[in-house]
């Protein structure tokens, strides 16, 4: 109880409205990094951490490091730290491990329990690869603050028992009894915890957590932190019961307009390549805009911007095509400066940008660290980036659109390097871009393929 009150005193626990890394707005913020600035409080907490534990402490990197270090120093115990980053010369930290030893995970705060589990599993894997003498087991974890959002249950399902020093319910109870918070604040936090439980048992498809895994299009459209154009797109998807974009890679403007007219009622977005049209005119663009308005779909110019900011601004706003004047959405490679350049032109016009985070080409470099960097760039510029071009779900933040290109009804691919994806080959994306490749059915028209994909896919998202 005393620890709860002191944590509140030093702003280790704050109440209000806070935007979390996940994008969610929370009524409470846990900031346990303040422990390092308050030695007396840290000393008080360490008293609880290793009481009667006969195990080697294992620290979750890296926010729990100060707590684990002080605790182990106080009790004169060796501490094992698993590095997050892989090292070419990587070895296990030196310690007095004996084969068959038990490790105790030390963590500062637990939400889903994923970090603790990854620490245990990762270090055990590294140990097995290094030497047989390092084999050990992890059966327990001690944590300063359990947010009560599924971490206890998830770790228990993996054979690890979590021992919280403070639980969220206990914290709220103590602070309300001390008149630090009122009943309404306590109820608000409890509701947030219930609505954002992260644990979904494999055989528990009807659990509250499983029902919250996927928001509907309409629910995502109403999120407070969603980009306005992404909200508009999600509303179109809900209204039309479609998550389809058709890639209209044709070279004749009249043919493109005919496709827009025939497919318009069935799609939410039409992907174009203006620079391959042999008869591009401003009159064509006016007609395309009229069809987009008539059939309620967005225009996505697949330009793949990839240059310094100033050049990108000129490419987007000027030149022959003046893309920003008519295309709702464009895409770009994760090149430094490109988002800033596009945003300077497109944001005042309400335009949106998709970052190319993954590609289906053989030998693509858009993978691994590049993909991670693209996600980070999007999160840092969420006021103008509305999502990703990708083959799988890249972030749990529901305000981002995930678009999978090159989807076909059967395996195969275009004649160039692009292999594409079959309709069932992608995971967690919210939008499918149907390629010009022939469908598996006897109906070889783009309309036939679009409708078949829609019938199979839309029920997963709406």
The residues that are catalytic are 302, 304, 307
Strands (E), 147-185: 161-167
How far, CA to CA in Å, does 305 sit from each of 85, 175, 302, 312, 333?
31, 52, 9, 7, 6
Question: Do β-strands 13-19 and 25-30 pair in parallel, antiparallel, or remain unpaired?
Answer: antiparallel
Can the peptide bond before residue 62 be classed as cis, meaning omega within 30 degrees of 0? Answer: yes
* Strand 13-19 to 329-333 pairing: unpaired
450 contacts 262 by C-beta, under 8 angstroms? no
Q: Are 49 and 142 within 8 A, CB to CB?
A: yes
The phi and psi torsions of 19 (rounded to 5 degrees) equal -90, 115
Q: Which residue, among 424, 451, 450, 456, has the nearest Cα to 436 in the 3D structure?
A: 450
Closest of 144, 141, 140 to residue 165, by C-alpha = 144
Q: Evaluate whether 140 touches 105 at the Cβ level (below 8 Å).
A: yes
Q: Which of 348, 282, 339 has the alpha carbon at shortest distance from 313?
A: 339
Length reported for the chain: 462
Q: Which conformational region is residue 271 in: left (phi greater than 0), alpha (psi within -120 to 50 degrees), or beta?
A: beta
Could you say which DSSP state residue 427 is in? B
Burial 307-332 (b: 16+ CB within 10 A, else e): bebeebbebbbeeebebbebbbbbbb
């Amino acid at each position: 109880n005393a620890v709860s009150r002191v944590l509140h005193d030093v702003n280790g626990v704050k109440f209000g409205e806070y935007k979390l890394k996940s994008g969610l707005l929370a009524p409470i913020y846990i900031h346990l990094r303040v422990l390092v600035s308050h030695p007396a409080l840290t000393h008080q907490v360490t008293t609880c951490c290793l009481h009667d534990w006969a195990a080697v402490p294992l620290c979750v990197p890296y926010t729990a490091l100060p707590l684990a270090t002080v605790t182990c120093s106080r009790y004169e115990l060796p501490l094992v730290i698993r590095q997050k980053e892989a090292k070419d010369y990587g070895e296990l930290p030196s310690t007095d491990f004996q084969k068959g030893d038990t490790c105790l995970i030390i963590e500062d705060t637990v939400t889903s329990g994923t970090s603790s589990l990854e620490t245990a599993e990762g270090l055990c894997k590294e140990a097995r690869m290094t030497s047989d003498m390092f084999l050990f087991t992890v059966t327990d974890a001690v944590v300063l603050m359990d947010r009560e959002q599924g971490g206890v249950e998830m770790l228990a399902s993996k054979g690890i028992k979590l021992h919280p020093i403070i639980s969220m319910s206990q914290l709220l109870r103590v602070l309300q009894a001390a008149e630090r918070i009122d009943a309404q604040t306590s109820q608000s936090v409890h509701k947030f915890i219930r609505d954002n439980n992260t644990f979904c048992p494999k055989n528990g498809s009807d659990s509250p957590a499983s029902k919250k895994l996927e928001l509907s299009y309409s629910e995502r459209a109403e999120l407070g932190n969603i980009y306005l154009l992404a909200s508009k797109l999600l509303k179109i998807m809900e209204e039309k019961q479609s998550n389809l974009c058709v890639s209209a890679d044709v070279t004749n403007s009249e043919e493109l307009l005919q496709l827009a007219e025939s497919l318009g009622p069935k799609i939410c977005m039409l992907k174009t390549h203006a620079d391959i049209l042999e008869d591009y005119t401003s009159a064509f663009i006016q007609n395309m805009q009229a069809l987009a308005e008539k059939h309620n779909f967005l225009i996505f110019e697949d330009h793949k911007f990839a240059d310094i900011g100033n050049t990108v601004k000129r490419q987007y706003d000027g030149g022959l095509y003046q893309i920003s004047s008519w295309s709702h959405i464009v895409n770009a490679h994760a090149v430094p400066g490109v988002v800033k350049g596009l945003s300077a032109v497109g944001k005042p016009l309400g335009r949106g940008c998709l970052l190319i985070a993954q590609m289906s080409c053989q030998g693509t470099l858009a993978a691994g660290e590049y993909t991670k960097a693209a996600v980070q760039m999007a999160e840092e510029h969420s006021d103008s980036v509305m999502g990703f071009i990708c083959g799988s779900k890249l972030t749990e933040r529901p305000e981002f659109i995930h678009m999978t290109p090159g989807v076909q009804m059967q395996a195969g691919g275009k004649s160039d390097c692009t292999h594409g994806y079959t309709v069932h080959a992608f995971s967690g994306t919210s939008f499918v871009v149907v390629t010009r490749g022939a469908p598996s059915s006897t109906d070889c028209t783009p309309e036939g393929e679009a409708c078949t994909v829609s019938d199979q896919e839309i029920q997963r998202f709406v």
